A and B are shown apart, each in its own frame.
Chain A
Amino acid sequence: MKALKLFTLFVLFSLVISACQTAGTAETPAAEAAAPAECAADAFGCAVFKPGEVVKIGMGAPMTGGDASYGIDISSGGFIAIDDFGDLNGFKFELVAEDDGGTPEGGAAVANKFASDPAVVAVAGHIYSGATSAAMPIYAKAGIPLLSPSASLPELTTMGSPVFNRIVFTDARQGPPAAEYLYNKLNVRKLAVLHDGGDYGKGLAEAVAAHFAELGGEVVATEALTKGESDYTAVLSAVAAKNPDALYFGGYTAEGAIVVNQMKQTGLEKAIFFGDDGTYGTDFLARTGANGEGAFATISPIPPESPEKEAFDAAYLAKFGKEAGSLSPYTWNGYDATAALIHAVKSVAITGSDGNLYVPRGALVTAVRTLTDYKGVGGTYTCDAVGECNTLPPMFVVVKDGEWVPAP
């Protein structure tokens, strides 16, 4: 009986192994026969598409939970880019938006999923810095280039990743101007800094605190809150004891909205709430209501009016029934990142003599890193040697009468 079981196991095991081997080897000889020379020379080989197959662009984004509006909005921009540019000699492009929950674990899981799908050639993402930094090494191994619309943690481009690029400003460009705005424009002298302990929020809060102190202001409190809770009155009361003129919050809407709601009952009713690009959006307005009045945020600049932007905004309204930019400031970036990746894929793709489409992966990584003068709705992007493709300063916005408006 036992021998029989062992034998069955052995047979099953060998079947699985042989299946893996045949699956791996069956394609290669056929592909090699017609594959262009570039594929053999490429470090990561080619992604091969038979006629009728779709070329996939991945996106890892928070599609559920308290920060879902970011993922939904940015992928919406990407879908419009697919509508506009998603065709290459009959090969269709597709945007696959997977939910990474905005967390490092989720980012790594989505990255593994994309890396094991041979049809994914590039990733427009991830959306959050924490998820991105966990996902980057996995893409680097698979030769999949990234072009993030919104991951703004400064360190992401200094870690030497060959595949990561972004078209959003970095927090190094977001933090210090926020500190200057607080000190010079709002005349804040005593600043309290609060963050959610995440890569993005903590990095940003520290950058603001450091620059604010350099300007001559006093940072009276630096506190961290626990993500995912709904009662922050204890930490806010402790901050209130230091009598700050303003509270800078590094983090996202889910926690930022609660902080704003509870500031009034904890003795911070006179302090100005100053958020970041993670606390901007209609979700923040809906959740804070009257409490949100007068809250500031720094955002990626909304593109200046142009025919391209008008066309995009109209397409967004028609497709999703909302004004572009109401959910997050990044929908244009989502569009530009996806469109730029499609542009890069098109520039390296080769149609073989057998009618198949070959996308050399290594060449694509280089093509994205060397993106030059790509004109999108948000501006003209040129990526530098480490993958920074945007050098614009942030824009300041404030809540007035229940709307986000440019701050004076």
Chain B
Amino acid sequence: MNEPSLNKINLKSNRFLKVLRPVLGAVIIIFILYRLNQVLLVQREYGPETWMRLLIAGLVIGGVYALIAIGYTLVYGILFMINFAHGEVMMLGAYSCFFVFEAFKAIHVPSGESFANAYPAVAILIGFIVGMGVSATMGFLLEKIAYRPLRKAPRLVPLIGAIGASIFLQNAAQLLFSPQLRDVANPEVMRRGTGWTVLINGSNVIIPYTGVFTFVLSFLLLAGLYLVVRKTSLGRAMRAVALDKKTAALMGIDVDKTISRTFLISGALAGAAGVMWGLHNGLVYYFVGFIPGIKAFTAAVLGGIGNLPGAMLGGFFLGIIESLGPAALGIDFQLKDVIAFALLIIILIFRPSGLLGEVLAEEKV
């Protein structure tokens, strides 16, 4: 593609957007204000307890989205490719969690209790270690087998390779683990649906243990990753490779090794998201990574792909919008995905590089 024609297209679309933006913006804002007014002030269907419940659901799923979105954004920052098999890496993490807990349910300690109930903290810790280990290995292997040979190819080729890897992993899991739905057997103290009870407006709102755990841990992992990227030599190498591979290599950075490590980290985070999914949602099957994967990709684009805080923000934002949106706008709950994706389009019209994209676009990571 030659540059001048590209610029022309940009100019044209810019002129088009200049007209479109204010009109569209006004229409959307009027619609949203009208619906909010209807729901919050006129109809008053939902009390504070309902909003609280919706917010809890949104924060929990937002944490999972954020963790997966980080994986997309890390890989994009360095290779400029979208790793569409990332959702499947998360699915393998969820399966690991299922198998570890099944094993601990079957092992009994001398008192007769199952291992999972006697030492829940150990069981969950091992679940996370195995899940993150399996997923990190899978991320590492994906890069070695599927993406490295294609690194010099045009950018669309590894993208198609990633879609192929995604389909391959889904079908491999279906053949290996059977297509049936599995329920993850949590340790008794972390049983799904139990939690702290808060009385709001005369109604018991349960803040589930698994939800709080998921939320806090995803925050800690995200903070840890941020420190790794900012403060360690590996992080400096990653940022250098993201900026310019050739120059980074000239400065003595092993580019291949850095890319491999990036995939290890993104895989481990996806694995953690998978284990959290297993703990909180409990349902595991071969297709379980697909929808969260797509949503997390949306979140990464929403926040500005290639930008770490952007992916976190995008993940939480998307989770909360999905959960609160239908109720706040008084729309059918089946349309929550419509709201999420409509929001993506709207944000891309107003900020084509995502929420935080422009501010930090130079840095990539």
Interface residues of A (CB under 8 A from B): 64-66, 68, 197, 223-226, 228-231, 233-235, 237-238, 240-242, 254, 258, 261-262, 264-267, 269, 286-287, 291
Identify which of A224, A238, A262 contacts B46 (C-beta below 8 A).
Answer: A238
User: Does the CB pair A254–B208 fall under 8 Å?
Assistant: no
For residue B19, which residues in chain A have a CB less than 8 angstroms away from its CB? none
User: Does the CB pair B334–A197 fall under 8 Å?
Assistant: yes
User: Does the CB pair A240–B50 fall under 8 Å?
Assistant: yes
Cα distance A144–B150 in the bound complex, in angstroms = 50
User: Does the CB pair B179–A65 fall under 8 Å?
Assistant: yes
B residues 90-108 touching A (CB-CB < 8 Å): none
User: Does the CB pair A261–B193 fall under 8 Å?
Assistant: yes
User: Does the CB pair B204–A262 fall under 8 Å?
Assistant: no
Cα distance A345–B181 in the bound complex, in angstroms = 38
User: Does the CB pair B281–A237 fall under 8 Å?
Assistant: no
For residue A68, which residues in chain B have a CB less than 8 angstroms away from its CB? 179-180
Identify which of B49, B56, B282, B332 contacts A230 (C-beta below 8 A).
Answer: B282
User: Does the CB pair A267–B49 fall under 8 Å?
Assistant: yes
Known: A223-B332, A223-B333, A266-B53. A66 touches B193 (CB 8 A): no
In the assembled complex, B141 has its CB within 8 A of some CB on chain A:
no
User: Does the CB pair A65–B180 fall under 8 Å?
Assistant: yes
In the assembled complex, B183 has its CB within 8 A of some CB on chain A:
yes
User: Does the CB pair B54–A234 fall under 8 Å?
Assistant: yes
In the assembled complex, B120 has its CB within 8 A of some CB on chain A:
no
* Interface residues of B, count at CB 8 A: 42
Cα distance A4–B123 in the bound complex, in angstroms = 68
Closest to A288 in B: B183
User: Does the CB pair A265–B206 fall under 8 Å?
Assistant: yes
Cα distance A267–B180 in the bound complex, in angstroms = 30
Known: A65-B179, A231-B281. A224 touches B193 (CB 8 A): no
Q: A64-B179, A265-B208, A267-B205 are in contact. List 14 more A-B contacts (CB 8 A).
A: A64-B178, A66-B181, A197-B334, A228-B287, A230-B281, A233-B57, A234-B53, A237-B50, A238-B327, A240-B203, A241-B46, A266-B206, A267-B49, A267-B50
B residues 42-92 touching A (CB-CB < 8 Å): 45-47, 49-50, 53-54, 56-58, 61
B residues 247-306 touching A (CB-CB < 8 Å): 280-283, 285, 287-288, 291
B residues 160-194 touching A (CB-CB < 8 Å): 178-181, 183, 192-194
User: Does the CB pair B180–A234 fall under 8 Å?
Assistant: no
* Minimal beta-carbon separation of A150 from chain B (angstroms): 20
Identify which of B54, B181, B192, B195 contacts A237 (C-beta below 8 A).
Answer: B54
User: Does the CB pair B58–A234 fall under 8 Å?
Assistant: yes
Interface of B is mostly: mixed
User: Does the CB pair B333–A224 fall under 8 Å?
Assistant: yes
User: Does the CB pair A264–B334 fall under 8 Å?
Assistant: no
In the assembled complex, B323 has its CB within 8 A of some CB on chain A:
yes
Cα distance A233–B204 in the bound complex, in angstroms = 14
18 A-B pairs within 8 Å (CB atoms) are namely A223-B332, A223-B333, A226-B334, A228-B291, A230-B282, A230-B283, A230-B288, A231-B61, A231-B281, A234-B54, A234-B333, A235-B333, A237-B327, A238-B327, A241-B47, A241-B50, A266-B53, A267-B53
Cα distance A66–B348 in the bound complex, in angstroms = 37
Known: A66-B181, A237-B50. A258 touches B283 (CB 8 A): yes
Cα distance A225–B337 in the bound complex, in angstroms = 11
Cα distance A231–B208 in the bound complex, in angstroms = 13
User: Does the CB pair A237–B53 fall under 8 Å?
Assistant: yes
Closest to B200 in A: A267
Cα distance A64–B57 in the bound complex, in angstroms = 29
Cα distance A224–B285 in the bound complex, in angstroms = 23
In the assembled complex, B326 has its CB within 8 A of some CB on chain A:
yes
For residue A234, which residues in chain B have a CB less than 8 angstroms away from its CB? 53-54, 57-58, 322-323, 326-327, 333, 336
User: Does the CB pair B334–A224 fall under 8 Å?
Assistant: yes
